[in-house]
Amino acid sequence: MTSPSTTQTTASTGPRPGWIELTVGLAVMALIAFVLAPQLNHLGMSGPTAGIVSGVVSGGGGLLAFLAAALVRRCPWETFGVRRTTVRWMMIGLAAGLVAFVARAVTVYLVSLVIDVEGDTQASYAAGAGAGAVSLALMMLTLAVLTPLGEEFLFRGVVTTVLLRYGALVGVVGSAVVFALMHGINEVLPAAVIVGLIAAELYRRSGSIWPGVLMHALYNAISLALLALAAVAA
């Protein structure tokens, strides 16, 4: 098993990601998520279109935020965990995707017994998944491919990398909390915390963002597939 310190020794030369990269990355993502995205909601898009656009915003926004952070001091991408990994770690990432989905279902159920969270921020995803094969394919492309890439590059590659300087607990839990809060205070929060914790731990141990990307992609794909099945059965 790779040492937990792997992500701290990804490159021996060149600048290393620090608080300036973290600040720039999160600032760009916050601008996109909390300023640009709400403006798009005023365009009166249909449910399926809104779901697809949401995936583009979260995934594309994450990639743009990562690029902004990486270009601040032109840190090598390897220092952000963008490096090759092993087949073993990719298989672990797949298994972790299943674990994340089950853990999310249990956690959301338990939270619902205690807290009544109003609203449904996933309604557009459900509409898109149930609007036919073309819509579902586009949803899969944006939410199960683009979104995992963008969010893992930013929240694990930048945020977790920087916070791991202060130990495993701060790096894993701290980055998971930041990841969850960027999704807003809503019914998605418990699921986002779980995905963030698992992805950060995969990154900490493997030294690469790719197992987390695969985990995140499988988690989102299962969620969309179940939404599609529910729409067909309705």
The pLDDT of residue 105 is above 70:
yes
The C-alpha atoms of residue 72 and residue 203 are separated, in whole angstroms, by: 23
pLDDT at 12: 46
- Whether 9 maps to a domain, the answer reads no
Q: In this predicted model, which residue has the larger pLDDT, 88 or 53?
A: 88
Per-residue pLDDT tens digits for 47-70: 678 878 888 999 999 999 999 999
In a domain? residue 31 = yes
Q: Which two tokens stand for residue 135?
A: 């819509």
The reply to whether 137 falls in a domain is: yes
* Phi, psi at 197, each rounded to 5°: -65, -45
When pLDDT is cut at 50, 70 and 90, the band that residue 149 belongs to is very high
Residue type, 198: I
Judged against a pLDDT cut of 60, whether residue 8 lies above it is answered with no
In a domain, 23, yes or no: yes
pLDDT of residue 11: 42
pLDDT tens for each residue of 169-201: 999 999 999 999 998 887 788 889 999 999 999
Q: Give first-to-last CA distance, the chain, whole Å.
A: 46
What is the rounded distance in angstroms from the CA atom of residue 56 to the CA atom of residue 64?
Answer: 11
Is 1 among the domain residues?
no
Determine the Cα–Cα distance for residues 161 and 138; give it in Å rounded to an integer. 31
Q: Summarize the confidence of residues 129-145 as an average pLDDT.
A: 87
Number of domains in the chain: 1
What's residue 93's pLDDT? 98
Is 6 contained in some domain?
A: no
- Residue 120: what pLDDT? 53
How far is C-alpha 16 from the chain's CA centre? 22
Residue 60 within any structural domain of the chain: yes
With a cut of 50, say whether residue 9 has pLDDT above it. Answer: no
Residue whose tokens read 């990639």: 63
Give the residue numbers spanning the domain of 166. 14-233
Does residue 8 sit within a domain?
no
What's the residue count for the chain? 234
HSE-up of residue 194 (Cα within 13 Å, Cβ side) = 22
Q: What is the pLDDT of residue 211?
A: 98
Helix (H, G, I), strand (E, B) or coil at 189: helix
